[in-house]
Structure 1
Amino acid sequence: METMSNSIRVQRTSQSRLKEIDFSNLAFGQHIADHMIVAEYADGKWGEASVLPYGEMTMSPAILSLHYGQAIFEGMKAYKTSSGVITIFRLKRHHERMNRSLERMCMPPIPYNLFEQSLTTLIDVDRDWIPTSEGASLYIRPVVFASEARLGVKVSDQYKFVIMTSPVGPYYSKPLRVKVEETYVRAAEGGAGFAKCAGNYGVSFYPTQMARKEGFDQVLWTDAKEHKYIDEAGTMNVMFVIDGKLVTPRLTTAILDGITRDSILTLAKEMDIVVEERKVSVEELIETHKQGSLTEAFGAGTAAIVAPIATINIHGKDYTLPPTSEGSIQARVKKKLTNMRLGLEKDNHEWNFTLR
């Protein structure tokens, strides 16, 4: 059945997969909701978006994204608040970051109206896929990739914009063991580390797999020049509590401008927590751990929100942190952020975009 929502054509699936999903046991990204958004760019402009049943797409093996890496994505979340209202967290900030990624990869920006209408229409169609159990949400994955079929190193003239959604539970089920990476590099300053482009994740797989074979969950990336300063964790920004202050590496072109990172820093300041955005050296972590002033470490990202770090391995030695308590800084900022998303606390920043 086809209908129109705003200016977006909606073609609903004839067979929903919703009843196949065990919402009490949601592995991250395992299940994709019934529908997806698809829009195409050609002749210098974006065409109209359509909601289609989720499924395979036909494309040539010569599309430029497969050969030269023009592909970016975003990661967002939608929630049902305590009153049953559907919200998307920080929609405008995600749109701005996506367009920065597109610009870095020489790809055309997505107009805000197209982005907003596509998201809201898709989520409205698949609203029953939004889980309501504790720690669960609807993960949203917009992706843009070069679709022009041509062999030859060039900027593509054709692109596809697709949005998928997935009901998800917590990303990590236990505190993490992380290893400071001192050989391999995720990104260098002046590169594309700040962009959510596909290649950034592809280059991270090998050292991460090696770390997992050694019993670690993730790596902590260090700077490309000296391996002296902490950049970020494998799938998220990283934060430390040193001398009671919330400390995180300052942003560079090698570090993703995390939206959860920004949200936590904003809320922490309002909670009278001292925040420092600065260089954090590997040696500082060693020394402050010895002194007992390094009391917390955690990752911050859309998927994980807040992921406690239990152990940091540096130069082959484990440095264990105290167990996370309800009074810890990470627990307090996570609770405030979660309550705001779910409508349990006032959203003073208007971060929640409400579906009408």
Structure 2
Amino acid sequence: MPLTTVRTPHPSPLAVDEREVILAAPGFGQHMTDHMLTMEWSQESGWSDASLQPYGPIQLDPAASVLHYAQEIFEGLKAYRHEDGSVWTFRPEKNAERLNASARRMVLPELPAEDFVESLRVLVEADEAWVPAFGDGEKSLYLRPFMFGSAAFLGLRPSTRVRYSVIASPAESIFVGGPKPITLWISEGYARAGAGGTGAAKCGGNYASALAGQIEGSANGCDQAVFLDSATHTKVDELGGMNVFFVMRDGTLVTPELTGTILPGITRMSVLELAHEFGLRPVERAVPIQEWRDGVVSSEVLEVFACGTAAIITPIGELRWAGGSAPSTAGEFGGEVTRGMRERLLSMQQGRSEDTYGWMTRLV
């Protein structure tokens, strides 16, 4: 059955002129739209019908399980306005699959994929006016579905009550003046995730664990940190919130293999599938950090980039660590493959090029 939603329109949505001021310079994640969608799950009844309601604070019992045992997961997608005024999003069924994979790992209930996609559609329909105009740079409406344990108890066991919600926020490119290469710090003292842990789940704890490494990187003049495997501290895992790719001289496009400690990014998956368009052979394998250090010097590594929903494709420049550094291969705006891959994805998402893969889903 399709998702049934009880709709309660906002009695006083933000005035048009105030919304237009925000849309002119929304930043990223700073302003929320007028509505949010919520669904409740209980051990006895399963999922109940959804509720579209005015955006506002969530009331929680102080003993809610999420506050004490971190039973929570989330996703991130973007909705783009196309030239004909319609609104589309990129591969939402894959986000639904990942949400459910995260739910299984964090012992939360799975949400049917069709209900996940419909929840996005309901919210975007209500707040369509918040979707930036076609042709307005890289602006989009960022969608944040999330799920958490809400039952009130103290004790280590799965929550018997769960809330799912979707909120939205207009967003512009995180790059001012175009994508610029970022400088990375090798985090040798901190690990983002460990074997058998939650590294492959999109849960807040993985991002919180990355903060210390990012702060260390910032203290050393870097934009972000790259994390190594927790077992040997010799192999590349990922950045705090992005996957890493290497364009190799032998014609391969290499990314660290999924070992359970790396988030399986939707953009990562798409880049691997697009590799053939650039004459590259996609390879998933272990990448020793020393191979990166030596490869950019010997030109075995031609380009390095990171990818994720927020930034799409980000060129990676200089690599630094305690006592040393490796030079950038990115130039001023990234290499040819980095720039081409970024434009290929962005043009498809914005409707400026043909979606030959069937990856786009219309929401409105």
Fold match (TM-score > 0.5)? yes
Query: What secondary structure, in the 3-state scheme, does the structure 1 residue paired with 2:296 have?
Result: helix
Q: Deviations over 1:19-50 (max 9, x none)?
A: 33432322110011111001111124011101
After TM superposition, give the deviation of residue 326 of structure 1 in Å. 7.6
Note if contact 1:44-1:157 (Cα within 8 Å) is conserved in structure 2.
Answer: no
Note if contact 2:3-2:50 (Cα within 8 Å) is conserved in structure 1.
Answer: no
Q: CA separation of 1:326/1:107 partners in 2, compared to 1, >3 Å: closer, same or farther? A: closer
**Correspondence 1:218 to 2:224:** yes
Counterpart position of 2:171: 168
Which one is further off, 238-247 or 296-305?
238-247
Q: Alignment partner for residue 299 of structure 2, among 292, 297, 300?
A: 292
Q: Deviations over 1:33-73 (max 9, x none)?
A: 11100111112401110111101111111000110110000
User: Quick one: distance in 2 between partners of 1:118 and 1:166?
Assistant: 15
Counterpart position of 1:29: 29
Q: Deviations over 1:280-303 (max 9, x none)?
A: 111111211221232321110011
Counterpart position of 2:70: 69
Which one is further off, 264-273 or 94-103?
264-273
Counterpart position of 2:99: 98
The 5 A counterparts of 1:10-159 are 10-17=7-14, 19-20=17-18, 21-42=21-42, 43-132=44-133, 133-159=136-162
User: Quick one: distance in 1 between partners of 2:282 and 2:323?
Assistant: 30
Query: Counterpart amino acid of 2:243?
Result: N
After TM superposition, give the deviation of residue 7 of structure 1 in Å. 2.2
Counterpart position of 1:311: 318
What is the total number of aligned residue pairs between the two structures? 352
Query: What secondary structure, in the 3-state scheme, does the structure 1 residue paired with 2:24 have?
Result: coil
User: Quick one: distance in 2 between partners of 1:196 and 1:223?
Assistant: 18
Query: Counterpart amino acid of 1:36?
Result: M
User: Quick one: distance in 2 between partners of 1:147 and 1:38?
Assistant: 13
**Correspondence 1:335 to 2:343:** yes
Q: Deviations over 1:218-242 (max 9, x none)?
A: 1111000111000001111011222
**Correspondence 1:265 to 2:285:** no
Query: What secondary structure, in the 3-state scheme, does the structure 2 residue paired with 1:204 have?
Result: helix
| Long gaps (5+) in structure 1 | none
User: Quick one: distance in 1 between partners of 2:335 and 2:264?
Assistant: 27
Note if contact 2:303-2:335 (Cα within 8 Å) is conserved in structure 1.
Answer: no
User: Quick one: distance in 1 between partners of 2:49 and 2:333?
Assistant: 49
After TM superposition, give the deviation of residue 325 of structure 1 in Å. 5.3
Counterpart position of 1:275: 282
Query: What secondary structure, in the 3-state scheme, does the structure 2 residue paired with 1:124 have?
Result: helix
Report the aligned-residue RMSD.
Answer: 1.7
Query: Counterpart amino acid of 1:193?
Result: G
User: Quick one: distance in 1 between partners of 2:116 and 2:17?
Assistant: 29
User: Quick one: distance in 2 between partners of 1:277 and 1:355?
Assistant: 33
Q: Deviations over 1:317-350 (max 9, x none)?
A: 2222131558610111111111111222221221
Note if contact 2:191-2:229 (Cα within 8 Å) is conserved in structure 1.
Answer: yes
User: Quick one: distance in 2 between partners of 1:324 and 1:215?
Assistant: 18
Which one is further off, 345-354 or 324-333?
324-333
User: Quick one: distance in 2 between partners of 1:48 and 1:206?
Assistant: 40
Which one is further off, 23-32 or 266-275?
266-275
Query: Counterpart amino acid of 2:187?
Result: E
Give % identity: 36
User: Quick one: distance in 1 between partners of 2:3 and 2:282?
Assistant: 43
- TM superposition score normalised by structure 1: 0.94
- TM superposition score normalised by structure 2: 0.92
Which one is further off, 126-135 or 98-107?
126-135
